[in-house]
Amino acid sequence: MAFPVLLRKQFRLDELFEDNSESSGDDSIDPDFLRNQARWIRDDLDPKISQEGPEWLKPDQVVTVFKFLEQLRRSRVPERHIRSSRIHLAVALIAGQATRWPGSVVDVADKLLENWSIRYGEISEIGIDLYDEGGRLHGICLPTDLTKEVLEVKWSKASGSRTNPPFSRRHGDLGVFKPGDWWINTMLAYHASIIDSGNPLGRIVADKHGAYAIIMNELDELDSPRPDIFTYKAKSTEPGRFRLTAATPASRQPIRVLRAHSLRSFWAPKAGLRYDGLYKVSGWSIKQDQQSKAWNYDIRFERCSTEPPMSEVLRHPTAEEVDDYTEYKRIRHVTRLTHNTFHRAKPLREPVRMVQPLPDTSLAAGGEGKMMTTGISRPNAPAINLNERLTAPAFRPKQAARSRLRIELPTPPVLPDNSTAVDPEALFGEALTIPSPTKAPRTPIREILKTVLPLPGLGGVKKISPLRAEMTPAQQGAQGDDYFSLPTPPENQQ
What pLDDT, in 10s, does the model give residues 308-357? 999 999 999 999 999 999 999 999 999 888 876 555 545 444 444 444 44
Per-residue pLDDT at 138: 92
Beta strand 210-216 pairing with 255-260: parallel
Question: Does residue 119 contact residue 27 with C-beta atoms inside 8 Å?
Answer: no
Per-residue pLDDT at 325: 96
Per-residue pLDDT at 482: 53
Per-residue pLDDT at 437: 53
Per-residue pLDDT at 196: 87
In 3D space, the residue among 137, 25, 126, 29 whose CA is nearest the CA of residue 80 turns out to be 126
Phi/psi of residue 232, each to 5°?
-100, 130
The string of pLDDT tens digits covering residues 362-395 is: 444 454 444 444 444 444 444 444 454 445 555 5
Compute the distance between CA of residue 372 and CA of residue 387 in angstroms, rounded to an integer: 10
Q: What stretches of 87-145 adopt beta strand conformation (E)? A: none
Q: How far apart are the first and last CA of the chain?
A: 161
CATH of 148-327, one of 2.30.280.10, 3.30.420.40, 3.40.50.150, 3.30.470.20: 2.30.280.10
CA–CA distances in Å: residue 279 to residues 171, 214, 305: 11, 10, 9
- Residue range 13-125, CATH number: 1.20.930
Compute the distance between CA of residue 382 and CA of residue 350 in angstroms, rounded to an integer: 8
Per-residue pLDDT at 229: 93
Per-residue pLDDT at 303: 94
Residues of the chain below pLDDT 50: 1, 3-17, 22-26, 345, 347-358, 361-365, 367-386, 388-390, 400-406, 419-422, 427-434, 436, 458, 483-486, 492-494
Q: Do domains 13-125 and 148-327 have the same CATH topology?
A: no
Question: Does residue 442 contact residue 433 with C-beta atoms inside 8 Å?
Answer: yes
Per-residue pLDDT at 124: 86
Measured CA angle at 292 (ends 290, 297), to 5 deg: 80
- Contacts with 396 (C-beta within 8 Å, 6 or more apart), sequence order: none
Per-residue pLDDT at 377: 43
Compute the distance between CA of residue 45 and CA of residue 414 in angstroms, rounded to an integer: 79
Task: List the domain boundaries for the chain.
Answer: 13-125, 148-327
Q: Return the axis-axis angle of helices 103-120 and 87-94, rounded to nearest 10°.
A: 130
Per-residue pLDDT at 9: 38
